[in-house]
Structure 1
Amino acid sequence: MLRIVDRVLLGLLGLGLLVLGGAVLAVGLGAPAPSWWIHDSRHDVLLSNAERTRWTDSSWWWPAVIAALAVAVLLTLWWLTANLRRRRLAEILVDTGDGEGALLRGRALESVLEAEAGALESVAHAHVHLTGRRTAPAARVRLQVEPHVEPAEALAALTAGALAHAKASAVLPALPTEVRLRGVRHRAERVS
């Protein structure tokens, strides 16, 4: 949901900037100014001398402008790094015991965990997502459990089975896991 909101807001912001930039370019190249445009012609300045020098005598003006621009730059950089950060763990460092180590693909461990969790008797469908660092991975598991199953039973089966096997096979000291359980809804069927 958050990803959809992020994309919609980013698209609207981009569209607004494109319209504004296109209008500035068109007026600068000699096109007639649109009715909503704040200036009259291509030779009209964006800020007049009176508007530019209105607050320069105040001691708070330039520090406030610089602080606002710095906050805008920091928020933009934070947003950029949040969007570029990998959400999925690409590889896990496995201790081989000889001082070297081996790399295990994160997707491989995810698919094995999904297959083993999905094969449990109480689970209809499983989805696994690995996060964290390659030396300290964590798992997010979504399980759709059958309607007749107690959630504690499904969680115990997952912990004793798939998660214990993954932890042992990847020689991990710990595998913190967030499990979300949801019951499967079956459609009503007509019996004749």
Structure 2
Amino acid sequence: MIGVVNRVLIGLVGLVLLVVGGSVLAVGLGVRPPAWWIHGGRHDVLLSTAERTRWRETGWWWPTVIAALAVLVLLALWWLTAVLRRRRLAEVLVDTGDGEGALLRGRALEGVLAADAEAMEGVERAHVRLTGRRHAPATRVRLLLEPHVDPGTALYELTDGALARARDSAELASLPAEVRLLGVKHRAERVS
């Protein structure tokens, strides 16, 4: 869903920039603009002296303009960091022995790992996220354990079971894991 929204926003911004930039270029090359256009001709400036000094007497105008531009810059920087930061690994490169390899969907591997971890005795819920690079993935696993489960045993079963099977099935040299174990809090029933 985020990828679709991101593509639509990038497409709209690109279209607006293309239309505005192309029209400014066309006016600069000598095309006569329509009467409603912001530039009157080739030698016109973006803001005339009268437009720049029009709101000088009102104390709220320029701080408002600067604040709005600052908000736009901050939103653009937030968007850029959201686009550049990958939250999870999209695919894992599996060595098939033919020199080319195959791609395994990251979400599929996460789902299998989570299901395998949840099948362990005493695990109420498991959350798995792949990180790292395509050829060297790593995992972040969060297990919600029931109160009677020994954390050391659960960690051993996860490492020796689910993570080992995932590593072997994807033919990875290693699959480092950061595991966080959380305990379920149950309220004791009052006996009268």
Task: Assess same fold via TM > 0.5.
Answer: yes
1:165 maps to: 165
Secondary structure of the equivalent of 1:147?
coil
Q: How does 1:38-187 map to 2 (within 5 A)?
A: 80-81=80-81, 84-187=84-187
Distance 1:149 1:101 in 2: 40
Secondary structure of the equivalent of 1:103?
strand
Q: Which amino acid aligns with 1:111?
A: G
Distance 2:99 2:178 in 1: 31
How many residues were matched structurally?
A: 132
Secondary structure of the equivalent of 1:155?
helix
Secondary structure of the equivalent of 2:173?
coil
Secondary structure of the equivalent of 1:129?
strand
- Structure 2 unaligned blocks of 5 or more: 1-50, 64-75
2:70 maps to: none
Shift of 1:188: 3.1
Distance 2:57 2:190 in 1: 66
TM-score normalised by the chain length of structure 2: 0.59
Shift of 1:85: 2.0
Deviations 1:96-118, CA, capped at 9 Å, x for gaps: 11222111000000000000001
Deviations 1:120-149, CA, capped at 9 Å, x for gaps: 002111000000100000000001111122
Deviations 1:16-37, CA, capped at 9 Å, x for gaps: xxxxxxxxxxx96967966656
Secondary structure of the equivalent of 1:141?
strand
Tell me if the contact between 2:130 and 2:140 (Cα under 8 Å) persists in the aligned partners.
Answer: yes
Secondary structure of the equivalent of 1:139?
strand
Shift of 1:187: 2.8
- Structure 1 unaligned blocks of 5 or more: 1-26, 40-75
Taking only the aligned residue pairs, the percentage that are identical comes to 68
Shift of 1:78: 10
2:26 maps to: none
Provide the alpha-carbon RMSD of the alignment: 3.3
Structure-2 change in CA distance of 1:35 and 1:150 (3 Å) = same
1:14 maps to: none
Secondary structure of the equivalent of 1:189?
coil
Shift of 1:171: 0.2
Distance 2:107 2:96 in 1: 20
Distance 2:103 2:62 in 1: 60
